[in-house]
Every structure is written in structure tokens, then in C-alpha cells.
Amino acid sequence: MAVSSAKFFELRHTRSKGDLWPMLDRVYGRHTAYEPFKTALLATLKSAWHRRPNDLKLLDLKRDLDPDWFQRSEMVGYACYTDRFAGQLKDVQDRLPYLQSLGVNYLHLMPLLEPRPRPNDGGYSIMDYRRVNPDLGTMDDLETLAGTMRANDMSLCIDLVLNHTAREHAWAQKALAGDPFYQAFYYFFDDDTQPRLYERSLIEIFPNDSPGNFTYVPELDKWVWTTFTEHQWDLNWSNPWVFLEIVKVMMFLANKGIDILRLDAVAFLWKRLGTRCQSEPEVHWLLRALRACSRIVSPAVLHLEEAITGPAEMLTYLGRGEHDGREGNLAYHNNLMVQYWSALASRDTTLMRHVMRENFPETVTNATYATYLRCHDDIGWAISDEDTGALGMSGHAHRAFLSDFYEGTFPGSFSNGALFQENKGTGDKRISGTLASLAGMEQPDGEEMAIHRILMGTALIASFGGVPLIYMGDEIATLNDFSYLQDEYRFDDSRWVHRPAMDWDRVAQAESGRDPQARVLAGTRHIMARRKATVQFHGTVPTHILEPDAIEVFGFSRLAPTGAVVCLFNMSDRIVSVSGGWLRDQGITEFYDLLSNAEVGLHEDQLVLLPYARVWMT
């Protein structure tokens, strides 16, 4: 007997309604429009399901039957700006074979929905959720690219900014015109009395360029909430009609073939006086409900929740407590990145071990991490005073040391980073830079060590657990690009130093040469190929932090049913060793390195690790 489309919808709604309606009851149950909102939301979900193309419905079924598809060791990610990588969306298709040569099957094209004219926060100030930036192509181009990628077993990720829209968005323009319905989509205040009260506990995100969290709107003689910049107006998620409109956008994009929605700036969705207005309980109720909407209409689609926070807070975006396994599918492992740079600078993994062991579970439910060494944003030193205090360290001093080290001003530093957004009041300083520049590629006679720092870090994110993300150009050791200083819209944002256009001539040279760029490219390809061949790196396999005798060595064991894989990384420029007895205690009997795919010999029952060595022992 054939099963009707309506019956499929009913079954999926039954499966996920417990994650949808109870969450919405909590958030909106007392709102005067709650009942008509619920009716409208259910109608929206049904309509989106009936409009969903058949090939995507088939993909939904396939991934429902294969729910761990994104947790497998075969997954490798790549992130880039469309224009700086290829030009336009239609040109990206020509570059897919290159990505496949890296092992990439997950491509994140950073903000490509239509932004306001510059300045637009690098494209994150969205003017229209349903149109592609005209400079990059059209929605038809995006749908075509998604289809081509799907035919090649590749997944496409795009950004969906949830916290705010551009002031030029149609909703904001209607609010400016005096429409009370759309003014309720944002946070407006008749004077600055309430904003001043909120400011007492809020954090400035861009203290240099956009101090404060509120902007005066002369057209209305009102203040509006602007967490990030004056042209990015925070959406009022306490209004159920905002939820409904975002769901419509999500379903529209899902039905165009998008596989992963990177939900941007999610921590800021809920405002509560006297708090930081970050990661409030309502945020997780809302995100769980949004996930349920996708599970009902487009279960093939993943949610990547972008929240760059401390460990305990970050984990909540993968679902903790009552939300365990029911919220985000992916979250950035910001702390692994920060601890990688911290251990490199200090040549000491004590803090890294402590943070990874004490703050992170060995597995997470129905989710996994996105692991990376850097991204399009700056590096903020998310190192807590609690963690440093537990080791007798000063958190403030260590964060200041890292900023100075990676800016290149600390004596003995190998790095060539750029300072970003120094907050004079708090002493907070962040850092920009490409992977190669931060790793010391520009230092006189420093190329050899820089290559090994890069490849060691790449082996780390490939094995720790999750989906490793390569940021565009890092695979060819791209250096800092200071041409942004000549751009009137970018000169005051040092993050553009690590967002240069892809150098395809450099790629061609690296394909056939033996220079540092060629070695990094070949090394990256090798690491990702070996990752794919190592089934023990499945996202559900526990990651157990180890305590090697040498403080320079960071280690963990992937505790697979077929046997442990012990991964070791010498975070220093010194030769160190790990005893054979200790390795045997961790279950290592064959002394075989899965990374080099070769046997490893011991010297006087010691495993000798050269500077920045990396091994995956079994």
C-alpha cells in the first residue's frame, strides 16, 4: 500500500512534536497571539513539506535511515568566501574537483545571502534572506550548485543570521515607516533609560568600532538594540511572529537544497535585564523548537549553532540536560582551537589537558564538533579564570601573554598576527592572522618548524572527534594580506588580513613543487586521507584525554570497540619521548602509526617525538 505525503508529514510531526510545542508553550504561551501563531506555524510546516522536491524527500529518508552520516570519519569540511574562493556561485562548481582532492565533502560558503551595501560586517548584515548577494549570483545558481554537490556526495552549508537583520531589511524598513506590527520585530525604546539599565551587564562585541549595544534612530526618535553594529538591528525573539518568519526562511533554504544551516550569533537571541543577554534558557528552547521544525519538514538538514563561548556554555548548544541530543547537530570546538595556540606558545600542555578533560564529555549525543585551527573571525582567548586558577595560573596574565605572543611582540615569538579589537577597559585583546602567519611561516629560517606546526594542528583536528574544517588557503600556507588597509570599508577591521583571495597560481605551483606550500598541501591531503581510512575517528567514539609524562605532549585515546587509537602531539620545538610501558598501559601493542601508515620503532623502549611530531598509534 502506498504511503501518502500527508501521512509522512503526520509521522514526522508525531516524532518531533514533543520538541516543538512544549518549547513554544514555554516561550510564547502567554502571548496574546499564541493560538493564531500555532495555527500559522503548523500550516507553514505542512506547506513547506508539500513543496519540498522529491529528490530532497528521498535524501530525507536516506539520512533518517543513516542518522550518523555526518559523524563518520569520511567527513571533511572546508570554509570560504564565494567571491574570494572562485568568483561567483557558478564558478564554485569548477573548483569542486580541487576540494574533492583534499577529501572535502562539506563546503561552507560564508555569507552569501543579500547583505546591505558595505559596510555590512563581512556580509553578515542581511537585507534579504531569500536572495543571493547579486555580486555572487542568483538563488537559481545556489540551487544548481547544491544539486551538483549532492550528486557528488557533497554537502553545502550556508549562514543564516538569527540574531539580527540589516536596517535595510524589509521588516526594518516597515518599522521605520511606523508600522507597529514590524516595530515589534525589533527592540525599540522611547528613550535611553532602559538601554542604560541593560548596558550595566552587557558586553561590548566591537568596542573599537561599535561601542555600546544600542543605537539612536532619528527617523523614529527611538533607540534600537544593536548588539554588533548600528546597522544590525537585533530581532525580538519574544515575538512569536519573528519565530514564524525565520522558520519560513529556513524551509525556503532547505527546499533549495541546503544541507547545513549555520545559525549565526545564536547566543544573543534572548534579552533579560541584569544578565549578559547571552545563552539564556529561552535560547535553547527556541533552538530546540527550530531543530524540531527541520526534523519535521527537512530532516536531511543539519543545524550548526555558532556560539563562541566558554566550554560549559558551548556544550549547551549541542544539547545538555533536558535538551540532550535534541538541539544542535554541530557546534564549533572553539576551545580546542584556543588550547592548540596556547600550548604552542607555552610549549606546555598542562592547561590544555585540564580544559579538555574537566570541561568536555568524552562523547556527545546525536551531535559532534566542528574542529578547526582558525576561521574567518578573530581568535578570542576563551580561557577562564576558573581553569587557570585550578592550576595556580593567572587567567588575565595568560590571555595577555597569548595576545602579545601571537601579535609577535613577546620575546621569542614565532608569530606574525595582527591585533583585533583591544578593549582598554577590560584588557581583552584578540588576534587575526592566517594559519601560516600565526604558525611562523614568515620568520627567517622558520619555514620548517611552521610547516610542522601547521600539519600537527591539522592532524589534531582530524583525529580529536568531529568534522575538521579547513579554512580557505590554509592548505597552501597562505600568508597575511595587508591590502585591506587600502579598502575604505575594511581598513579598520584586521580580520581581513586573513581573508585574502584564493591564489590559484600558488595552488598550481604547490601541485608540482617541493616548496613549503607544496609540502603543506601534500601533508593536508595525506592527513585527511588517513582520517577517512580510520573508522575509529567516528564522532560517537569516546575521546579520552591522557596524561603523558612529557608536559609538551598532548594526548588522547579514541576508545573504539575494535581497539584504542592513541593520538600524541608534541606541542614544542624540543625532542621529547614517551615510554613504551606507558603506551602499553594505554592498550598499544602493535606500535603502528595509522597517520604515517607504518610501524614505529622504539629506542630503548622510548617513543621519540621530534619537534611538532604527531602520531596515531594502534
Which 8-state DSSP code applies to residue 24? H
Of 203-212, 278-287, 574-583, minimum mean pLDDT range: 203-212
Q: Is there a contact between 338 and 540 (Cβ–Cβ < 8 Å)? A: no
Cell numbers found for residue 600: 614505529
Residue 151 is which amino acid? A
Residue 520 is which amino acid? V
3-state SS class at 601: coil
- For the cut 50, the answer to whether the pLDDT of residue 449 exceeds it is yes
Q: What average pLDDT does the segment 456-468 reach?
A: 98
Q: Decide if 306 is catalytic.
A: yes
Closest CA to 526 of 578, 610, 454: 454
DSSP element (H, E) containing 571: none
Instruction: Express each pLDDT in 248-300 by its tens digit.
Output: 999 999 999 999 999 999 999 999 999 999 999 999 999 999 999 999 999 99
Closest CA to 306 of 331, 276, 324: 331
| pLDDT, averaged across the chain | 96
pLDDT of the residue at 6 = 85
* CB environment 365-398: b (16+ within 10 A), e (fewer): ebbbbbbbbbbbbbbbbbbbeebbeeeebeeeeb
- For the cut 70, the answer to whether the pLDDT of residue 27 exceeds it is yes
Which residue among 60, 121, 159, 264 is the active-site one? 264
Q: What average pLDDT does the segment 367-386 reach?
A: 95
pLDDT of the residue at 485 = 95
- With cut-offs at 50, 70 and 90, classify the pLDDT of residue 3: low
Which residue among 121, 168, 306, 404 is the active-site one? 306
- Domain segments of the chain: what residues? 1-66+243-331, 543-617
Instruction: Express each pLDDT in 474-506 by its tens digit.
Output: 999 999 999 999 999 899 899 999 999 999 999
Sign of CA dihedral 176, 179, 184, 190: positive
Query: pTM to 2 decimals?
Result: 0.96
Cell numbers found for residue 222: 527611538
* CB environment 247-280: b (16+ within 10 A), e (fewer): bbbbbebbbbbbbbbbbbbbbbbbbeeeeebbbb
Cell numbers found for residue 129: 534572506
- Sequence-ordered list of residues with C-beta below 8 angstroms from that of 242, at least 6 positions apart, any chain: 185, 235, 236
How do beta strands 598-599 and 592-593 pair?
Answer: antiparallel
Cell numbers found for residue 594: 595509522
Q: Decide if 605 is catalytic.
A: no
Name the β-bridge partners of 155: 106
In whole angstroms, give the CA distance from residue 350 to residue 31: 50
Please write down the HEC assignment for all residues of 221-274. Answer: CEEEECCCCCCEEEECCCCHHHHHHHHHHHHHHHCCCCCEEEEECHHHCCCCCC
Q: Is there a contact between 394 and 376 (Cβ–Cβ < 8 Å)? A: no
Instruction: Express each pLDDT in 134-179 by its tens digit.
Output: 999 999 999 999 999 999 999 999 999 999 999 999 999 999 999 9
For cell 588557503, the residue is 473
Q: Classify domain 543-617 at the CATH class level.
A: mainly beta
Q: Is there a contact between 484 and 119 (Cβ–Cβ < 8 Å)? A: no
Closest CA to 531 of 172, 122, 56, 103: 103
Alpha carbon of 13 to those of 42, 48, 152, 287, 482: distances in Å? 10, 13, 30, 17, 52
Instruction: Express each pLDDT in 176-194 by its tens digit.
Output: 999 999 999 999 999 999 9
Cell numbers found for residue 53: 522536491
3-state SS class at 331: strand
- With cut-offs at 50, 70 and 90, classify the pLDDT of residue 1: very low
How big, in percent rounded to 5, are the helix, strand and coil portions of the chain? Answer: 45, 15, 40
Q: Is there a contact between 579 and 525 (Cβ–Cβ < 8 Å)? A: no
Name the β-bridge partners of 592: 599
Name the β-bridge partners of 419: 431
Q: What average pLDDT does the segment 435-439 reach?
A: 98
How do beta strands 368-371 and 330-332 pair?
Answer: parallel
- For the cut 50, the answer to whether the pLDDT of residue 399 exceeds it is yes
Q: Is there a contact between 379 and 332 (Cβ–Cβ < 8 Å)? A: no
